[in-house]
Amino acid sequence: MDQELIQLLSDTQSAAAETRKAAEVRLQSLYSNESFPLSLASIASHSSVPVPLRQSALVLLRTFINSAWSSQLDDFKGQVLVSDANKAHLRRVLLDLATSPEQDDRKVKNSASLVVSRIASADFPEDWPEILPTLLQIIPNSTDAQLHGALKVLSDLVETGFSEEQFFKVARELVSTVFNVATNASRKPVLRALAVSTFRACLDTLEMVLEQHKNEVKQFMDEALNGWLPFFIATIKEPLPPMPSEEDEATDAPGPQQWRGVIALKSQVVKTIMKVRSVLPSLLTTQSTTLFHTIWTELTTIQDAYQQLYIQDERQGRLEDADNLPYTLDFLVLEELDLMQALLRAPPVRIELENQLKLSGATSSTSWLPEMMKLVISYAQITTEEEGLWDIDVNLYLSEETSVTANYTPRTCGGDLVIRLGEWLKRTVVDGLLAYTNVLFSDPSTGYVPPPHS
């Protein structure tokens, strides 16, 4: 059956509509054949099969499992078409594919992990109790390829496979395991980023049960953050690696990989801090001023790199890897500006900044306010990409500037931050902003690019 399925999978990608339709109908008719899911798993496991067809086999297998594996699944069609023996075989083969030590294509491993998590959402823990212990056993001493697959399965399992009761039973061991990966400097930064992302998925689960179990959630998060918060702060403080050239940026050379990985790790850390703040903001209160100054310092430090990449040059931004981890600097800047804006609302931060303003004489050049204006306006400059687009069609500029589009950029985020400052400090911010913009537009050496004229 494997060869027939490979041809049918290839036909589903044909440009000819009739060929595609015939292949889809034939594949649907094979659902009742007990060898059908086994053959799909076999195709997906063979490295000799082209990657697009292996992915297609896994996508089709996931669709089949949704409809014919268990009544526990939402899309179940009413009849289980997989025997218990075949289920056991598929669980083993697919978990092996997702967590194999071989360097396989990441997209294939990702697709396999999605199928595994779908099966686990129906079978864990009653019919597949060993999956979680297996993952937690693989992770500590795994190769990079194994670790990547295990983290993907674990993350998907956290997002879709646990009930509340199941999660609380394993939460401490699970969080401890991903913490050890995240804090292991010998691991690739992108794998550490995936571990942080998995921890954030745990927070999503906790957020859903917060109302019913507020005390338990608070206690658990308080304990966990004793380790995670110092790590978060230390990670934000880490300097960026050397910036790769445009020619090398997308390659898998060690330098560009490290650049992308560190940005991905920092981005996941900042996103996770934001998630903690949305679930239980009180847990960040004592660290809010430290976080605020750490983010401010980081944004100041990476300012030149951002200018070089997006204001002076036209590097591609808003990129994510196969695991949906953002890895370009514009994403990191956006996350950090967002966090700075959120931390400005924290009472300890406001008290400290207000006291500094009083001591320096409000809009004095020695206060923090002009420095913040300078930083925010630097990131609010029009990028080279935007300049080119808006020069062609000024309506795009008007759409962006009036917030008609959903394109949230460092420029729009910087504008929001100034608005929040204005709501808090009123006239003081207006005076400071006016003074700094006058300096900008009167000094040609600043290189500031004003908006196009309509």
Higher-confidence position of 306 and 121? 306
Give the mean model confidence (pLDDT) for residues 316-339: 96
pLDDT at 404: 55
Which pLDDT belongs to residue 454?
Answer: 45
Contact indicator for 66, 116 with CB cutoff of 8 Å:
no
392 or 299, higher pLDDT: 299
Residue 291: CA count within 13 A, CB half-sphere: 32
Instruction: Find, among 283, 253, 109, the residue nearest to 194 by Cα.
Output: 109
Assess whether pLDDT exceeds 60 at residue 214. Answer: yes
CA 17 to the chain's CA centroid:
36
Q: Is 75 exposed, middle or buried (0-12, 13-18, 19+ CB in 10 A)?
A: exposed
Dihedrals phi, psi of 326, to nearest 5 degrees: -65, 140
pTM: 0.90
Closest CA relative to residue 263, chosen from 245, 289, 291, 244? 244
User: Range with the lowest mean pLDDT among 68-72, 110-114, 195-199?
Assistant: 110-114
Mean per-residue pLDDT, 121-142: 92
pLDDT at 106 over 60: yes
First to last CA, the chain: 64
Average pLDDT over residues 172-184: 97
**Residue holding tokens 């686990």?**
120
CA distance 30 to 195: 39
Distance CA 177, CA 179 (A): 5
**Each residue's pLDDT tens digit, 60-99:** 999 999 999 999 999 999 999 999 999 999 999 999 999 9
Q: What is the mean pLDDT of residues 234-262?
A: 96
**Neighbouring residues of 110: CB distance < 8 A, sequence distance ≥ 6:** 152, 322, 323
Return the HEC string of the chain: CHHHHHHHHHHCCCCCHHHHHHHHHHHHHHHHCCCHHHHHHHHHHCCCCCHHHHHHHHHHHHHHHHHHCCCCCCCCCCCCCCCHHHHHHHHHHHHHHHHCCCCCCHHHHHHHHHHHHHHHHHHCCCCCCCHHHHHHHHHHHCCHHHHHHHHHHHHHHHHHCCCHHHHHHHHHHHHHHHHHHHCCCCCCHHHHHHHHHHHHHHHHHHHHCCCCCHHHHHHHHHHHHHHHHHHHHHHHHCCCCCCCCCCCCCCCCHHHHHHHHHHHHHHHHHHHHHHHHHHCHHHHHHHHHHHHHHHHHHHHHCHHHHHHHHHHCCCCCCCECCCCCECCHHHHHHHHHHHHHHHCCCHHHHHHHHHHHHHHCCCCCCCHHHHHHHHHHHHCCCCHHHHHHHHHCHHHHHHHHCCCCCCCCHHHHHHHHHHHHHHHHCHHHHHHHHHHHHHHHHCHHHCCCCCCCC
Q: Does residue 248 surpass a pLDDT of 50? A: yes
Contact indicator for 236, 269 with CB cutoff of 8 Å: yes
The domain spans of the chain are 1-135, 162-241+253-271, 286-454
CA distances in angstroms from 315 to 242, 311, 330, 387, listed in the order given: 16, 9, 10, 13
With CA atoms as reference, report the closest residue to 60 among 12, 1, 109, 127.
12
- Least confident among 90-94, 189-193, 380-384: 380-384
The residues that bridge with 320 in the sheet, in sequence order, are 326
Of 299, 292, 409, nearest to 342 by C-alpha is: 292
Q: Which two tokens stand for residue 143?
A: 């190769």
Mean pLDDT of the chain: 91
| Amino acid (1-letter code) at residue 89 | H
Q: What percent of the chain has pLDDT over 90?
A: 72
For residue 113, give both structure tokens. Answer: 């992990």
Residue 433 pLDDT grade (very low, low, confident, very high; cuts 50, 70, 90): confident
On whether the CB atoms of residues 232 and 196 are closer than 8 A, the answer is no
Task: State the pLDDT at residue 361.
Answer: 72
Whether residue 434 has pLDDT greater than 90 = no
Do 86 and 37 touch, CB atoms closer than 8 A?
yes
pLDDT score recorded for residue 392: 85
